[in-house]
Chains A and B, each alone.
Chain A
Amino acid sequence: MITVRNLTKYYGDYPAVRDVSFHVDAGKVVGFLGPNGAGKSTTMRILTGYLTATSGQATINGCDVFWNPIEARRNIGYLPESCPLYTEMRVDEYLLFRAGLKGLPVRDRKIRAQFVMERCWLKEVRRQLIGTLSKGYRQRVGLADALIANPPVLILDEPTVGLDPTQIRETRKLIKELGQEHTVLLSTHILSEVEMSCDSAIIIYQGQVALEGTLEQLKQRHPNGNLEDLFVSITGAIDR
């Protein structure tokens, strides 16, 4: 569903992503792991077409993100890192606007908005201004927006950052449920999240893929069988 080949991105002289290749099969929930600044967000931004890669190729559901950006973006629901929203709009207004922006016909917009508001537990705040919502609710609005056009692929950049433990648990549960219908690529640096909601993981470090595989495969790579130890042994120079 998502294929990335030799993706490289330079910011000026600084290589943020270096020769990254990976593949995500349809219907899988894949964790995109790495320390801060490893190039997770950059890779996701290239996949969603926000940035253009310096070299390399990425396809979403068979559509090249560079040559066929509109079709590729139609296949993606994207939740950016800090979840920027129009704070002056109401929740339902915002979702209807996003549905229109993503090209849904007028009569489907309301139905889809209702559906995603139910899905993301937004019913009770539907007439509230987004600016007055708490961080957790905003994150849900962002998630609802990603879901609104029912895209086959979801790309979620740190979906649980800044949430309280209950909300984190709810979000993980939701992501797990979404994994049954959508292909999900979610970035995080919280390991328990990967263990709880993902089928497999890609560990990225200093702009390169360090390890890739299902959770079982990854756990076998380290004598302890512990994902956290594995992660630290790859990315942390202190423990080595």
Chain B
Amino acid sequence: MRSTLSLIQREFAAYFLSPIAYVVLVVFLAVMGGHYWLAFRQLTTSGPVGVEFPWVVLLDGYLFWFIFLLVPPLITMRLFAEERGTGTLEMLMTAPVRDWQIVLAKYLAAVGFYLILWVPFVFYFPILMDLNWNAAGFTLYAKGMVIALGMGIVLLIASIVMPIGRKGLPCLFSLFAFLTSGVFAYFHKNHDEIPVLTAGIDPYPALTAGIGIFFVGLMLLALGIWVSSLVKSQMVAALLSVSLGMIFLIADLMVRLFPPETPYHQIAAYFALPTHFVKDFGRGILDTGHLVLYITVAVLAFFLTVRSVESRRWQ
């Protein structure tokens, strides 16, 4: 357990020591920002045009999906390929850890970075849900409580991200922030109205889209880590896993090309990621069929990665 935790920490911190991570973050933020602007414009336009599901606008379009499918390969390409290239894998594989622990740690670190990629989304929520609050409930104390709570969470995340030697300070500050939040909550408790947020637009598509995005990420990252464990060059790993990801985009093309009720259409529909989001997740429908696909592919790819790492020893 200790070893796995240290490994997750190192792998996660290593992302922020490489320039590629920042490139991915910035490019993805730009694309997301563009789509947010599209959704925002449609939400605020007057007349009979407009949009019912802003999440569909956000998660549709080939530009978005093309960029999105590039992201997991860029996250996972270094995980094993780099270590094999530089030889550091030997240091890792002669440490007293099981192979699956190595794979799991690297995978979880990749998932962590992937989630950070989506953090800016949180700031779109208020607009995309048309959130309103009751001004009477948000007293000075309530505001203080919310702000302190937010700062506490940010500092807690910071203390997790920080390298091993310098966790103390952010950890202490986050504890302090949580305490402050508690104090504010105590002073607020006698107030008549509690702070309430109400959404003008159905908020549940946000939840289903989030779940969909999370599991799609699990699948694509698992595929990426598997490819990375097979090759020695990061470039080859990235290209191969992008091509694997493109299968899902091609399936989407097929869905649009073939008429419904034909076998090609039905088979392609299983793999057509953009359609899954446009038709289901973006509209608040949680289709477990899609989730089963994502999870099975993720589990299979994870298993193959462990085997592929193990097989290194037998060569």
Using a CB–CB cutoff of 8 Å, the interface residues on chain A facing chain B are 11, 45, 48-52, 70-71, 73-74, 76, 78, 80, 82, 84-89, 92-93, 96-106, 109, 145
Do A84 and B87 touch across chains, with their CB atoms under 8 A apart?
yes
* Residue B38 is within 8 A (CB to CB) of chain A in the complex: no
Do A93 and B164 touch across chains, with their CB atoms under 8 A apart?
yes
- Stretch from B3-11, B54-62, B212-220, B232-240 that touches the partner: B3-11
* Residue B63 is within 8 A (CB to CB) of chain A in the complex: no
Q: How far is the CA of A97 from the CA of B87 in the complex (A)?
A: 17
Q: Which residue of A lies closest to B164 (CB)?
A: A96
Do A50 and B90 touch across chains, with their CB atoms under 8 A apart?
yes
Q: Which residue of A lies closest to B166 (CB)?
A: A93
Q: Which residue of A lies closest to B5 (CB)?
A: A100
A-chain residues with CB within 8 Å of residue B164 when the two chains form the complex: 93, 96-97, 100, 109
Known A50-B90, A76-B94, A88-B17; judge A97-B10 contact (CB<8 A). Answer: yes
Do A88 and B18 touch across chains, with their CB atoms under 8 A apart?
yes
Q: Which of B95-118 contact A (CB under 8 A)?
A: 95-98
Q: How far is the CA of A84 from the CA of B163 in the complex (A)?
A: 21
Do B90 and A84 touch across chains, with their CB atoms under 8 A apart?
yes
Q: Which residue of B lies closest to A47 (CB)?
A: B94
Q: How far is the CA of A74 from the CA of B2 in the complex (A)?
A: 14
Do B94 and A78 touch across chains, with their CB atoms under 8 A apart?
yes
**Which residue from A45, A85, A99 sits with its C-beta under 8 Å from B88?**
A85
**Which residue from B7, B87, B96 sits with its C-beta under 8 Å from A70?**
B96
List the 3 closest A-B pairs by CB distance, nearest first: A100-B6, A84-B87, A73-B96
Shortest CB–CB separation between residue B315 and chain A, in angstroms? 7
Do A105 and B2 touch across chains, with their CB atoms under 8 A apart?
yes
Do B94 and A101 touch across chains, with their CB atoms under 8 A apart?
no
Count residues on chain B whose CB falls below 8 Å from chain A CBs: 28
Could you list some 29 contacts between A and B, CB below 8 A? Answer: A45-B90, A48-B94, A49-B313, A52-B313, A71-B96, A73-B94, A73-B95, A80-B87, A80-B94, A84-B90, A85-B91, A86-B10, A86-B14, A87-B86, A88-B18, A89-B17, A93-B164, A93-B165, A97-B10, A98-B95, A99-B6, A100-B9, A101-B7, A101-B92, A101-B97, A102-B95, A103-B2, A103-B3, A109-B164
Q: How far is the CA of A105 from the CA of B3 in the complex (A)?
A: 10
Do A51 and B88 touch across chains, with their CB atoms under 8 A apart?
no
Q: How far is the CA of A101 from the CA of B164 in the complex (A)?
A: 12
Shortest CB–CB separation between residue A7 and chain B, in angstroms? 15
Contact string, B282-315, partner A, CB cutoff 8 A, digits 1/0? Answer: 0000000000000000000000000000000111
Q: How far is the CA of A93 from the CA of B165 in the complex (A)?
A: 7
B-chain residues with CB within 8 Å of residue A103 when the two chains form the complex: 2-3, 96
Known A92-B165, A102-B3; judge A86-B88 contact (CB<8 A). Answer: yes
Shortest CB–CB separation between residue B90 and chain A, in angstroms? 5
Q: How far is the CA of A174 from the CA of B18 in the complex (A)?
A: 35
Do A82 and B95 touch across chains, with their CB atoms under 8 A apart?
no
Do B313 and A96 touch across chains, with their CB atoms under 8 A apart?
no
**Which residue from A50, A82, A109 sits with its C-beta under 8 Å from B94?**
A50
Do A93 and B163 touch across chains, with their CB atoms under 8 A apart?
yes
**Which residue from B3, B90, B313 sits with its C-beta under 8 Å from A101?**
B3
Shortest CB–CB separation between residue B85 and chain A, in angstroms? 10
* Residue B153 is within 8 A (CB to CB) of chain A in the complex: no
* Residue B93 is within 8 A (CB to CB) of chain A in the complex: yes
A-chain residues with CB within 8 Å of residue B6 when the two chains form the complex: 97, 99-101
A-chain residues with CB within 8 Å of residue B95 when the two chains form the complex: 73, 98, 101-102
Do B3 and A84 touch across chains, with their CB atoms under 8 A apart?
no
Q: How far is the CA of A204 from the CA of B164 in the complex (A)?
A: 42
Q: Which residue of B lies closest to A96 (CB)?
A: B164
Q: How far is the CA of A109 from the CA of B164 in the complex (A)?
A: 10
Shortest CB–CB separation between residue A100 and chain B, in angstroms? 3
B-chain residues with CB within 8 Å of residue A96 when the two chains form the complex: 164-165
B-chain residues with CB within 8 Å of residue A11 when the two chains form the complex: 315
Q: How far is the CA of A71 from the CA of B98 in the complex (A)?
A: 11
A-chain residues with CB within 8 Å of residue B91 when the two chains form the complex: 78, 80, 84-85, 98, 145
A-chain residues with CB within 8 Å of residue B9 when the two chains form the complex: 97, 100
Contact string, B1-36, partner A, CB cutoff 8 A, digits 1/0? Answer: 011011101100010011000000000000000000
Do A70 and B98 touch across chains, with their CB atoms under 8 A apart?
yes
Q: How far is the CA of A232 from the CA of B94 in the complex (A)?
A: 33
Do B87 and A82 touch across chains, with their CB atoms under 8 A apart?
yes
Shortest CB–CB separation between residue A14 and chain B, in angstroms? 12
Q: How far is the CA of A96 from the CA of B9 in the complex (A)?
A: 11
Q: Which residue of A lies closest to B87 (CB)?
A: A84
Q: How far is the CA of A88 from the CA of B86 in the complex (A)?
A: 12
Q: Which residue of B lies closest to A71 (CB)?
A: B96
Q: Which residue of B lies closest to A11 (CB)?
A: B315
Q: Which residue of A lies closest to B85 (CB)?
A: A84
Q: How far is the CA of A104 from the CA of B93 in the complex (A)?
A: 17
